[in-house]
């Protein structure tokens, strides 16, 4: 009778640092085998770990996603001997991407936090939240990185069998929090005069506001307003108003007690034919067809 071969454990935890209370940082590896079929795996976590190596260069990456947060300025360019990133910089290196990082001033001092993760869930969340990859992005609130990493570490170390659903939710919440933080930072860079114009359009989308009036609100010329609005919001003023109207009409069509003509007047179209034409141009079907398809 052939000898029974014991299957390898599905979960391997590598104790990489002693559990000392006053260490001030954490690092834990949970296994070293890549799983090409994984939906989501946490392969390693580091929290405020000092950078021991002067240069870390991996020309083809690590085979998984390395997501690293530099609490202080770090070197991210091989040919630049000085710090080339801002403090509180985050980098997402996808599988196969070249990695280089180093401390900028002194070894064993400058902290960084990181996670090695893999699986289709990672790529999906990065894409859905439009997170930049392989370039440093500034995330000023370091708790957005520290808290999820600590929660992942706790789930992996305190349970004999970690719950992958909990881990996936933790990563998803992390990705969404980073995306929201980046969006807030971008909004804060938008000039207040343009935010004032956008707010006016949001509150008066049913009206046809002359461009001269909007230019006076922004305290700039018409041409300059049009250029800056498109630069910061990615669309023209007229297209912004149309999308606002169509979005509200889309929701109102779910109320079967409202006729399309009533909806047209509610959003600023006195002519139902003009409303129907614009709705079909936006969504590909007429308001009546859209209602039939979705109610």
Q: Which class is 21-187 in CATH?
A: mainly beta
- Percent of the chain having pLDDT more than 70? 91
Summarize the confidence of residues 19-47 as an average pLDDT: 84
Q: Could you give the CA distance from residue 64 to residue 96 in angstroms, rounded to a whole number?
A: 8
Domains 21-187 and 192-294 share a fold: no
Tell whether the model's pLDDT for residue 18 goes beyond 70: no
Q: Which pLDDT score is estimated for 125?
A: 96
pTM for the model stands at 0.64
Detail the DSSP E strand segments found in the chain: 26-29, 41-50, 56-58, 65-70, 74-75, 89-93, 99-103, 111-118, 137-138
Annotated domain spans of the chain: 21-187, 192-294
pLDDT digits (tens, 9 = 90+) for 187-233: 778 899 998 999 999 999 999 999 999 999 999 999 999 999 998 88
- Percent of the chain having pLDDT more than 90? 63
pLDDT digits (tens, 9 = 90+) for 271-283: 899 999 999 998 8
Band (8; pLDDT cuts 50, 70, 90): very low
Q: Could you give the CA distance from residue 279 to residue 162 in angstroms, rounded to a whole number?
A: 49
pLDDT digits (tens, 9 = 90+) for 99-139: 999 887 776 778 999 999 999 999 999 999 999 999 999 99
Q: Which pLDDT score is estimated for 231?
A: 87
Q: Which pLDDT score is estimated for 105?
A: 77
Band (4; pLDDT cuts 50, 70, 90): low
Tell whether the model's pLDDT for residue 24 goes beyond 90: no
| Homologous superfamily, domain 192-294 | Homeodomain-like (1.10.10.60)
Q: Which pLDDT score is estimated for 36?
A: 84
Tell whether the model's pLDDT for residue 32 goes beyond 80: no
Check if the beta carbon of residue 102 is closer than 8 Å to that of residue 56: yes
Q: How far apart are the first and last CA of the chain?
A: 64
Band (9; pLDDT cuts 50, 70, 90): very low
User: Taking the CB of residue 231, how many other CB atoms lie within 10 A of it?
Assistant: 10
Summarize the confidence of residues 160-168 as an average pLDDT: 93
Q: DSSP states of 29-71 as a string? A: E------TT-S-EEEEEEEEEE---S-EEETT--SSEEEEEES
Residue with token string 């997170």:
131
């Amino acid at each position: 009778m052939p000898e029974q071969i014991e299957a390898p454990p599905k979960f391997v935890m590598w104790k990489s640092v002693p559990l000392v209370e006053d260490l001030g940082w954490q690092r834990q590896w949970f296994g070293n085998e890549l799983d090409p079929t994984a939906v989501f795996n946490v392969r390693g976590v580091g929290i405020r770990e000092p950078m021991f190596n002067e240069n870390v260069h991996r020309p083809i990456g690590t085979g998984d996603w390395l997501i690293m947060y530099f609490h202080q300025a770090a070197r991210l360019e091989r040919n630049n001997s000085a710090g080339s990133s801002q403090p509180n910089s985050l980098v997402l290196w996808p599988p196969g991407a070249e990695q280089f990082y180093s401390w900028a001033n002194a070894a064993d001092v400058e902290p960084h936090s990181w996670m090695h993760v893999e699986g289709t869930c990672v790529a999906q969340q990065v894409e859905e939240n439009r997170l930049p990859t392989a370039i440093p992005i500034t995330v000023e609130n370091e708790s957005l990185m520290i808290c999820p990493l600590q929660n992942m570490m706790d789930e992996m170390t305190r349970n004999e069998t970690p719950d992958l659903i909990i881990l996936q939710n933790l990563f998803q919440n992390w990705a969404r929090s980073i995306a929201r933080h980046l969006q807030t930072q971008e909004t804060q860079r938008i000039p207040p005069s343009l935010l004032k114009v956008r707010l006016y359009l949001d509150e008066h989308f049913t009206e046809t506001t002359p461009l001269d009036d909007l230019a006076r609100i922004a305290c700039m010329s018409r041409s300059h307003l049009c250029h800056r609005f498109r630069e910061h919001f990615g669309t023209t003023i007229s297209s912004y108003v149309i999308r606002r109207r169509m979005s509200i009409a889309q929701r109102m069509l779910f109320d079967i007690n409202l006729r399309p003509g009533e909806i047209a007047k509610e959003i600023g179209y006195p002519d139902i034919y003009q409303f129907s034409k614009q709705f079909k141009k936006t969504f590909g079907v007429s308001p009546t067809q859209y209602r039939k398809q979705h109610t």
